[in-house]
């Protein structure tokens, strides 16, 4: 299921933002961006509208949200379903 939000302006509500594609990312880890913030690096993605599954590793744009309990993360334009991490998390 894609997520969507409505943008507002001083003149009132604008048209809703288009839904974000939901992409599964496998073999992922969180990396620090050289310009600040964090990104995901992943070995493979599935269901991305512009990246084929056989293209190899990817680095996302900056994360705006990550939720380990629901295994989801979001960048400005994409919602990610977190598959298996590259390294197991330590509890």
Task: Report pLDDT digits (tens) over 26-66.
Answer: 999 999 999 999 999 999 999 998 888 888 899 999 999 99
Residue 44 tokens, joined: 């493979």
**pLDDT > 70? residue 68:** yes
pLDDT at 40: 97
Average pLDDT over the chain reads 86
- CA–CA distance, 44 with 52 (Å, rounded to integer): 9
Exposed, middle or buried: residue 66 (CB in 10 Å: 0-12, 13-18, 19+)? middle
CB 75 within 8 Å of CB 64: yes
């Amino acid at each position: 299921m894609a997520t969507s939000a409505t943008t507002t302006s001083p003149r009132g509500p604008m048209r809703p933002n288009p839904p974000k594609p939901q992409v599964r990312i496998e073999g992922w880890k969180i990396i620090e961006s050289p310009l600040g913030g964090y990104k995901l690096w992943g070995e493979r993605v599935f269901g991305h509208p512009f990246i084929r599954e056989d293209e190899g590793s990817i680095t996302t744009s900056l994360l705006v949200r990550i939720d380990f309990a629901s295994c989801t993360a979001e960048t400005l334009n994409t919602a990610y379903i977190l598959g298996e991490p590259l390294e197991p998390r330590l509890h």
